[in-house]
Structure 1
């Protein structure tokens, strides 16, 4: 049942505020349409790149490369690399994007305004600023993201030009792959350079270790021979000395010959080499030189210099040939010496040396071997890195290049309109809610009933005063079958039903009915008189008291003269003496009234809370059947809050589509907060337009209106 009531309330709310919701919806849709129409179409092209987590090295066995748990972080790192500033700068340089209108430096908004007003001359950005602006603009144009949990990377570029989008997307993919490969090669090259430095140090270590071993043998060879008494070692020692002497002689001869060749002393060269051909060439050269000194000869033969150059070339060639033969003998001597030295080492190690000498030799030999192994390893690794740097492949490749987009990717008109429609509905409902419950006036009985937390509310239609009438309240007597009179009787019915359900009120005392409103001008006094006349016409002795002591208006509704009797009564020490003079009888019914004058000069809340008012009300409840209090509005005056304590029922009058609901809610809360016992609340929506009420339109034929 509760769910049904909630749904009904929601549907009623939507029906009441349908116009506002529809207006907001159409306004939002219209603004969205205008905005979409003004947007520039944006085209997006996407290049699909596949990342291979295995190392792209042709020398590496790819089948042995396990991916493990490092693949995902590598893919995320590649995404960051693809949109890095370095890659973007490469795209700008390759595609010359600094001249592109979309990336060309633009003046800021403030600079354009100042330039337009002539307050400042536009200043062009520097080259660095232009590059930074182009880099920022390109960063906003491109988007790089991983395709879910795969090894696919989407590289997208958006532009107002479809050709530009395609060009930038593919260029970014190429720049990313090139940067990736360049980084790999550079990393290998850096490692190779480090190895080259270490290789030089290792080479020096091998040379030093080899020399230390040989120096130890040369220095201790005599003692070793004495210790071992080995004739083989003595023979090897003699041969080593002979080969050393021969090597030094060959080396000295080579040095002398090279010095003579450098000094062009071909005669000495021919003599030392015992080369007759070289000597003949030198004689021919000397003859040509002699002929060149004769100017007549030069005039008769201009090719002498060319002949001289040819002879000198043959001399150098012949001399180098002779020197090469001596160098070959030197190399053979060195090889023989090295072989003999190795034999000497082996013979020494294998001879019966003391343990101390063997240990020293073994340490020197091990150091030499370790240095040689380290050098060989570094040399091999350096050669491998050299080959590896030239055989690298990128880890990523383009599997689907970007194509020229045929349709714009933005704005997505359908999505934006759908979003605008949802936003329009949501905004419309929100504004309708604010208007319904906080800002706007009450426009239906359901609204008022919800505000008052009552079962229902009574709707009183708007009525007009005829020339022969003083007040709309006269319709209760003059037009008892009118819609206005019927609404007043419905108010009386709701009051009586609520009073019958009350358990705390004494049955021998007349009920006190308070007619209140939130603000002035809601028709409270007219309804007070109408309800009171309805009770009087029903045969109940009724007293209507004008409790608005500041601005009394009941006397105008009755056509009576204003009177100070009520104020005098409340201020008098013996109120019973003037009570009979203060009560007036209605000309149209048996209603009795207590009217006021132009207002009290005293604090009216003190008069309301005075003992005289209490005694007046007590006496009236014993004398009459019904007491109705026409109270001042609750918002500007506190009198109504005090009067609410004395009332058994409160008729809360709210003007249709006028009083803010928040104000009505505050007034109802003020009444409930001051009342310590159960109280009947009858909400009344007053002066509703008949044309806006479906209820009155549907049942209009049941009323006989004298005035509407």
Structure 2
């Protein structure tokens, strides 16, 4: 370009070039702004987004957002933040995101217009150069390229015409063949050989059925018997818990309302085997420490909370001091089973991270038994593994051991949250709940193996097959 301008002295080409460089730089700046705003929006970086936007509403929205964050950060742990504050913060962030999207749309429209202007300037420069008074050593390559392009275009058109002619000939060509003699039918059919095909089909179907049954029985399918669970998982099965006949309320109410039912008897069997395992493991009451029992599972909806509350009530009705803690802070369910309302839950005390906070303010009495509980007041909106690994949670467990004979922790499923792995480190015994014919065997085995690697030495792990199809009770 410099050589062309120097050779012709054409100021129009130089002006077009300078204009093209200016427009190209403006296009790059616009593209950079689009990428920067999009990156802030994808990371929900509202402070960075506010600095990148040019809307007049942004400073006021950012000020209001800062005030809401300060109000939420200053809320007392004992009194959860008002949902109205969370809703207002969410609405402000939605407004910021909408303004950002509108500005991105406008910038993209501006970028498209700039790109069209760049294309027009390039065309104008090319036309100006070809019509300027260029010397032969510069003009010759231009005409050479034009001639090569014309030749290539002519060759392409000729080849395309030839291809169309060949397709027409292929569609109209007749086969060069004739019938010499009619075929003579065989005396007996050669194909298909029905006996052979039936025999091969029967053998193949039988083999495929056996292979699928083996995979389903030992790897893919769920557990349907205690013997199957013990053979696959190599752990002691405490009991098969049948479905209770309770038609309303929590199934665990059968421990009090129907103490002679098959469901209540199965839970008492788990209690007896659990006590034996605790004595063998050296976790007896004579040590002066309450025993921590973790109720865990591989997947959600396995029946952990129901079984945990049922086991709590079986201990409570025998005169033992029992505490059940809803440790599933991402989806607390214990308060629904107890049919109680709690304004303050486990997550509220753990967020403050006060190792010496008295837990008596968190205790809720079971309406149907002498047991006490710590329920979840709300679902967590932050990672909860850091809470169960904190000093405050360790203080709660230590205090519960001193004041109760049994502390039962209703843990979240291992495949949905890492919290269960931290909770298992406090356990004296673990009851691993598996839903009948639902949880895949490899899923249960993998979750059980992950948890077992973190358990203290001597901790008993018992299996419970929950909720089989049988609905009989009594």
TM-score by length of 1: 0.40
Distance verdict in 2 for CA 1:417–1:652, change over 3 Å: same
Match for residue 380 of structure 2?
600
Equivalent of 2:369, from 589, 595, 608? 589
Match for residue 215 of structure 2?
434
User: Following the alignment from structure 2 to structure 1, what is the Cα–Cα distance between the partners of residues 189 and 279?
Assistant: 73
Give the superposition deviation at 1:461.
Answer: 1.7
Equivalent of 1:561, from 325, 341, 344? 341
Structure 2: any 5+ residue segments left out of the alignment?
1-169
Match for residue 271 of structure 2?
492
User: Following the alignment from structure 1 to structure 2, what is the Cα–Cα distance between the partners of residues 618 and 527?
Assistant: 24
Match for residue 235 of structure 2?
454
Equivalent of 1:471, from 245, 250, 256? 250
Give the superposition deviation at 1:576.
Answer: 4.8
User: Following the alignment from structure 2 to structure 1, what is the Cα–Cα distance between the partners of residues 177 and 196?
Assistant: 41
Cα pair 2:283 2:428 within 8 Å, conserved? no
User: Following the alignment from structure 2 to structure 1, what is the Cα–Cα distance between the partners of residues 370 and 270?
Assistant: 19
Cα pair 1:654 1:684 within 8 Å, conserved? yes
Looking at secondary structure, tell me which structure has more helix per residue.
1
Cα shift readout 1:9-54 (whole Å, capped 9, x = no counterpart) = xxxxxxxxxxxxxxxxxxxxxxxxxxxxxxxxxxxxxxxxxxxxxx
Match for residue 281 of structure 2?
502
Question: Secondary structure at the residue paired with 1:419?
Answer: helix
Question: Secondary structure at the residue paired with 1:456?
Answer: strand
Give the superposition deviation at 1:410.
Answer: 6.2
Distance verdict in 2 for CA 1:567–1:161, change over 3 Å: same
Cα shift readout 1:483-502 (whole Å, capped 9, x = no counterpart) = 11111112212212222221
Distance verdict in 2 for CA 1:125–1:535, change over 3 Å: farther
Cα shift readout 1:335-361 (whole Å, capped 9, x = no counterpart) = xxxxxxxxxxxxxxxxxxxxxxxxxxx
User: Following the alignment from structure 1 to structure 2, what is the Cα–Cα distance between the partners of residues 535 and 422?
Assistant: 56
* Correspondence 1:632 to 2:412: yes
Give the superposition deviation at 1:162.
Answer: 4.4
Matches within 5 A, 1:259-274: none
Cα pair 1:604 1:639 within 8 Å, conserved? yes
Question: Secondary structure at the residue paired with 2:464?
Answer: strand
Matches within 5 A, 1:212-611: 411=192, 413-456=194-237, 458-467=239-248, 470-503=249-282, 507-508=286-287, 509-572=289-352, 574=354, 576-611=356-391
Give the superposition deviation at 1:611.
Answer: 0.9
User: Following the alignment from structure 1 to structure 2, what is the Cα–Cα distance between the partners of residues 671 and 507?
Assistant: 28
Question: Secondary structure at the residue paired with 1:627?
Answer: strand
Cα shift readout 1:121-160 (whole Å, capped 9, x = no counterpart) = 6853679xx99xxxxxxxxxxxxxxxxxxxxxxxxxxx99
User: Following the alignment from structure 2 to structure 1, what is the Cα–Cα distance between the partners of residues 296 and 395?
Assistant: 22
Cα shift readout 1:156-176 (whole Å, capped 9, x = no counterpart) = xxx99545xxxxxxxxxxxxx
Give the superposition deviation at 1:688.
Answer: 1.0
Question: Secondary structure at the residue paired with 2:431?
Answer: strand
Give the superposition deviation at 1:541.
Answer: 1.3
Cα shift readout 1:349-378 (whole Å, capped 9, x = no counterpart) = xxxxxxxxxxxxxxxxxxxxxxxxxxxxxx
Cα pair 2:321 2:406 within 8 Å, conserved? yes
Cα pair 1:565 1:578 within 8 Å, conserved? no
Question: Secondary structure at the residue paired with 1:433?
Answer: helix
Q: Once superposed, what is the RMSD of the aligned Cα atoms?
A: 2.9
Give the superposition deviation at 1:601.
Answer: 3.2
Give the superposition deviation at 1:530.
Answer: 0.5
Cα shift readout 1:674-700 (whole Å, capped 9, x = no counterpart) = 224233222112121117xxxxxxxx6
TM-score by length of 2: 0.58
Question: Secondary structure at the residue paired with 1:539?
Answer: coil
Give the superposition deviation at 1:447.
Answer: 2.6
Equivalent of 1:669, from 449, 461, 465? 449
Cα shift readout 1:459-503 (whole Å, capped 9, x = no counterpart) = 112235434xx3110001100111111111122122122222214
Distance verdict in 2 for CA 1:472–1:122, change over 3 Å: farther
Question: Secondary structure at the residue paired with 1:525?
Answer: helix
Question: Secondary structure at the residue paired with 1:422?
Answer: helix
Distance verdict in 2 for CA 1:594–1:459, change over 3 Å: same
Give the superposition deviation at 1:408.
Answer: 6.2
Cα shift readout 1:492-530 (whole Å, capped 9, x = no counterpart) = 122122222214788512221111122221211111101
Cα pair 1:452 1:681 within 8 Å, conserved? no
Match for residue 151 of structure 2?
none
Distance verdict in 2 for CA 1:607–1:573, change over 3 Å: closer
Cα pair 2:353 2:390 within 8 Å, conserved? no
User: Following the alignment from structure 2 to structure 1, what is the Cα–Cα distance between the partners of residues 353 and 230?
Assistant: 43
* Correspondence 1:620 to 2:385: no
User: Following the alignment from structure 1 to structure 2, what is the Cα–Cα distance between the partners of residues 587 and 612?
Assistant: 28
User: Following the alignment from structure 2 to structure 1, what is the Cα–Cα distance between the partners of residues 465 and 276?
Assistant: 19
Question: Secondary structure at the residue paired with 2:417?
Answer: coil
Cα pair 1:567 1:596 within 8 Å, conserved? yes
User: Following the alignment from structure 1 to structure 2, what is the Cα–Cα distance between the partners of residues 645 and 121?
Assistant: 82
Distance verdict in 2 for CA 1:568–1:598, change over 3 Å: closer
What is the aligned length?
Answer: 302
Cα pair 1:442 1:659 within 8 Å, conserved? yes
* Correspondence 1:124 to 2:175: yes
Structure 1: any 5+ residue segments left out of the alignment?
1-118, 132-158, 164-406, 692-699
